[in-house]
Structure 1
């Protein structure tokens, strides 16, 4: 069974690579709006990442596969940890975002630092339509570098036209008992840092309105010792 699953993922990823390459040549194929990232970093650096966004199709149908890369700052990620990463994607309609059906996905790794997620839609997205999706990633040891005293870069590079981006990272008290020190990247706005008195968690909010394609945005974070 494990061998069959591995062969299936290999085929899906090979097909996905071709579609991704074709999509990157067509910048007007779709645009992204309402991109929201919510990340909770828990004890031992384990994290749950929820990404919600709307895909606005251009004048042509969007192929049944859509690719997304999610980058982690860890310089090395053991194979056994990679195998524990779990991904789920669903359609998330505005009227009832919890009612959407599941989207078939496949993942592949680009070295130790990037997780590529392929979305296999049941049909092409219609021209000029808007489709809202939600991606959930459960990632063990996601924040392990910070526990080791390293500075972790949190950054985003937008490869397509994107309207509206918001990120919320919650560093729970068991992970960051004394809080987190934040330094914005050059050219990026300073995030809003809020230390919660009741829970002891540190909330980092980062928002972008005027987004330039290809430019890197974000900040660096490290634990206060």
Structure 2
């Protein structure tokens, strides 16, 4: 699923609310038919595990004093995903899944490139075995080749794990090529949604028209 909209339309706020990091004033959030609380203390450990968020700023999201191995292994301990003695092996496996060599476990965030840090952030989110992975502008600071490789990686992981993927992005070509459905936000409201191909081919709302017009001019 893609979420698009102009700057300030509420995309990041929506992602944070779904992930349980921000309280909402009204409405409901549910997973597998069960209503979820909002805010940092509104959910139990299992509910928090099932929805994971990868943010745009991977350097800011990763603890600078914590190695890659410690960062990726922490969700496994918090959510009890495997025995403590198996965590180093599981961390190495996750790093390989996101295209990083196991020896990166001893590196710190500042020793990695932007693309490598983003892969670590994805591995850390996957360590919780989520049902839903929310990605907020995770390719915006990356070069085209690195962004494409990250998106290819997410596509493979989604299929392999049977995981739902929510992409929040200003990049409409990325949303058009990588999502099945899309929701358009304006002023904190969902003003249009449907199959991505249908919405982009025949937009009904002025906000969608405006977004597509800006994208066309940029091309």
Q: Which has the higher contact order (CA 8 A, sep 6+)?
A: 2
> Which structure shows the bigger proportion of residues in helix conformation?
2
TM-score by length of 1: 0.28
What TM-score, normalized to structure 2? 0.28
